[in-house]
Amino acid sequence: MAFVALVPLWAALTGWHGRPNHLPGQTFSRGFFLGLLTGVVHYAGTVYWTGATVRTFGGLPWPVAIVTALLLVFYMALYTGLAAGLTGRLVRAYGWVGLPLGAAAWVSAEYLRGWLFGGFPWIPLGNSMVTLLPIAQLASAGGVYALSLFVALVNAGFATVIVSGPRRQRQALAITATLIATTALWGGLRLSANALVEGGTPVTVGLVQANIAQVDKWNGAKAGQIVERYLEMTRTAVAKGATFVLWPESATPFYFDEEPVGQTLVRNLVESTGVPLLFGTDEIERGARNQYYNSAFMLDSGGATAAVYRKMHLVPFGEYVPFKDLLFFVKPLVEAVSDFSPGRYVTMLPVNGHMASTAICYEVTYPSLIREGVRQGSELLTTITNDAWYGESSAPFQHFEMATMRAIEQGRYLVRAANTGITGIVDPYGRVLARTRLGETTVVVGEARFVQVRTLYATMGDRVAHAAIILTVLALAATLRRPWPSPSTI
């Protein structure tokens, strides 16, 4: 569906009314409206689960929860509107050439959504390719934004077929088919080479999915049961051969550095097994004003703290409330949400003589953050999360697939420990080697590898997105100095 999903919008932005090659385009305002409408429909069907989440855990009445979810939908749709408005203007100026230029405008808007106001890079267009592995390999060269550009160009090609005469239809079909075939062929060759899997140093990871209900995580009466479950499941993982164990985000039902008894239990477990452990816990930095962090602790094989990573990208309306003063009507949510502080830098995690990096929950959606870990020497990607907030909605599935994209981009194994699911192991080509179901209590033990070879994307970063922005700006600037063509000459 992704190959044709934008075709109706693209065709509408040409102003086409059934006459081949007659492309009057759209004004920016008209294009913006069409894109906004498209975005609202799309995101309402994609991030609908935010309403139920803030209702259940934020204590908001249903009407306010729905309004809160719609605000997020509308915000995300603004970027679709921006891309569409620019595309309509480019078609007015350049005719059918405006459609492929519109693909650059789409990527530009998508990149801005992942950057402005701290960013919200949830489900970019390119992520639709994550299970189409020969195509998805393009991410290793240009990141998920290169895939977004690819998908947008394919849609532009098919839209051109609809709005053009026979000669240009044949040209557009040939170009689009060549683009798809070339990308798939290159990706297929990369998959068959399998170089990243055959190299590297193996490590047997144990991933604990304890399946603790969200309402129980901070229930003091159940803290002992929760800790015992993690300890027992860790012993099971080690008995199955795990040489590195991961627990999910906020696994401990206490502040690890603040609870001597619980801390001793965890450290003694690691020391007795001799297997390093990565786990999530909340952390307090005491001072004139206490600061709270969502952190990941790395314990070495002797049970000592080897490294601590503090989450840098916090979840809006989950770990902090943006624009508190403006959003006065969500006061119950403001009071319910913990006011966490963001971490300031990526931390390397030493594991058995190698370096790993981690991302906590939602921040695995940031390609640049994961890339920074690899730039600093990470040979294995890890991510720990608690998706219990989202129940059995589509959110945990979306989240897992975005994490999978990071493995392809960086050419690294990715191991993921989730509280209620989805826990899994992904190889450097995006192949899912192990994957749990939602809501099961289980331990996954499997092989990953420490990989040192870097992909082109790990080296170059988001150059594709930057080039798309530059191209869009230059194309728009040129329209200011050229006369508008009449519709009959387009």
- List active site positions: 249, 311, 361
Joined tokens for residue 204: 């047997």
Residue 163: name the closest of 35, 26, 1, 27 by CA. 26
Strand 442-450 and strand 291-299: the pairing is unpaired
Query: Quick one: CA torsion of 463, 469, 473, 478, rounded to 10 degrees?
Result: 60
Residue 2: name the closest of 160, 154, 142 by CA. 154
Please state, in angstroms and as integers, the Cα–Cα distance from residue 303 to each residue in 233, 353, 442, following that order: 17, 16, 24
**DSSP string of 428-464, one letter each residue:** TTS-EEEEPPTT--EEEEEEEEE--PPPHHHHH-SHH
Residues 189 and 180: their CA atoms lie apart, in Å, by 14
Residues 407 and 386: their CA atoms lie apart, in Å, by 20
Strand 414-418 and strand 424-426: the pairing is antiparallel
Residues 158 and 11: their CA atoms lie apart, in Å, by 9
SS3 421: coil
Contacts of 437 (CB under 8 A, 6+ apart): 421, 422
**DSSP string of 147-168, one letter each residue:** HHHHHHHHHHHHHHHHHS-HHH
**DSSP string of 312-331, one letter each residue:** SSPPBTTTB-TTTTT-GGGH
Residue 37: name the closest of 72, 74, 83 by CA. 74
